[in-house]
Structure 1
Amino acid sequence: MNPDELCRALHLASPALPIGSFSYSQGLETAVDLGLIRNEEQAFTWISDGLTEIIGCCDAPVIAFIHRACRSHPPTDALSEIAHWNSWFLASRESMELRRETEQMGWSLLQLAQALNWISPAAGTTELEPVAFPTAFGLSASGLALTETTTLTAFCFSWLETQVAAAMKLVPLGQTAGHRILNRCRTNVPMVVHAAANTMPEDISAWAPMLGILSARHESQYSRLFRS
């Protein structure tokens, strides 16, 4: 990877992007509230399993499909395939919170990408409303001319950072403990990226019943720091 591509990938994966990722825990807050996560090791297990069993089996493959569609054809020609996976991902969200999360982050990233000329407003993306976050991420990565491997790596690491930051606030954990988790989970990213890149459309899975239940319970949780 050349330095310019690395900088583009770091920009897309940056926690400084104004897309609101810091405000979501994706079920982690309810898991802590119910006593399922009480320490560093349990937080590591939760985040590591989420990376391999959820992100690697659902979010990352969707990004790969959308990225390939964009790189193989102009976005306007690939719009039907992009719309298919966008609709599929939205339908796979099992709670109102998770649905609103991906719609809000997707809309925010799409607006930013258009403002920064990563995506042309004429690319037909307005027809995707509402747009899921993986859709916006794949479109942005394609517009930045990132390779598929770089795109998936950036997405996975960005997700890990967000989850670790949430765990540090909720468990709570110190900064060193949080980075121990990040350091351990990081070693799984290449494996997850490889698996996602080789996932066939018929093998994609959003099967995560505990996440759906915890997210649904979070909607009526008495005290909350996060939006999911």
Structure 2
Amino acid sequence: MATGTSTELIALLHLASPALPIGAFSYSQGLEAAIDAGVIADADDARRWIADGLEIAADGEAVLLGQQFRNWAAGDIPAVATLNEWLLAMRESAELRQETEQMGWSLSRLLDELEWGNAQGRAALRAMRPLSLPTVYAYAAQSTGATLEDCLTAWLFAWTENQVAAALKAVPLGQVAGQRILFGLHGAIQAAAHRAAATPEDEASTFSPLLGILSARHETQYSRLFRS
């Protein structure tokens, strides 16, 4: 896999950091509902759920994030806006829609505060409401000069790490068990990023009925730690 300079790597690490103040820690993306439904009861269940979710993310959202990366690189703002609407429409439940909008807005605001990228791109984001997180993330990553595949690797690693963090709190798991899951998925993350980079936009698939059902159930779940 081609890699960028250390400056580009630092920027991607910044974007993938769990300390990025966009609220990722408050969402489980259906994992908490899966625990409540008995689908996840221990570390092995959590590993399978996260690994399956990584494949879903790679075949759907990551493919479209990659296309947004290309759209930003080409300066094609109408294409960015159209695909942003698609990214919003593909969310499986009200909570997942709210998640991508809230985090997209928060990241866009942060980029403005940091003057990340060029003024024209940030102005385009301000004019685009509501925003999906992949649209904003693709802009931020593309503006660093990083490669598409490195961008997708950072995105998918951050997604996986956040799922592990949610499992630590909600299953619950020990720290070593969580790190074992994350370490064991290193190769899967790299393969998923490579596949997503090579998949055409019109072949993106978000088919995940169990995730959609569990996410919808989470909206009325009695006891919750997370917002999704």
TM bracket, shorter-chain basis? over 0.9
1:60: Cα distance to partner?
0.8
Gaps (5+ residues) in structure 2?
Answer: none
| Greater Cα offset, 4-13 or 22-31 | 4-13
1:120: Cα distance to partner?
3.8
2:194 corresponds in structure 1 to 194
Query: 2-side partners of 1:217 and 1:208: how far apart?
Result: 15
Query: 1-side partners of 2:163 and 2:125: how far apart?
Result: 29
Correspondence 1:39 to 2:37: no
1:42: Cα distance to partner?
0.6
1:132: Cα distance to partner?
0.2
2:95 corresponds in structure 1 to 97
1:204 corresponds in structure 2 to 204
Amino acid at match of 2:66: A
Q: Percent identity?
A: 48
- 1:124-203 matched pairs, under 5 angstroms: 124-203=124-203
Q: Deviations over 1:187-221 (max 9, x none)?
A: 10111011101111221111111111111100000
Query: 1-side partners of 2:8 and 2:127: how far apart?
Result: 29
2:77 corresponds in structure 1 to 79
Tell me the TM-score normalized by structure 1. Answer: 0.95
1:101: Cα distance to partner?
0.2
Query: 1-side partners of 2:139 and 2:220: how far apart?
Result: 34
2:60 match: secondary structure: helix
Gaps (5+ residues) in structure 1?
Answer: none
Tell me the TM-score normalized by structure 2. Answer: 0.95
Amino acid at match of 2:6: P
Give the conservation status (yes or no) of the 8 Å contact 1:10–1:154. Answer: yes
Q: Across the two proteins, how many residue pairs are aligned to each other? A: 223
1:121: Cα distance to partner?
4.5
2:185 match: secondary structure: helix
Give the conservation status (yes or no) of the 8 Å contact 1:97–1:215. Answer: yes
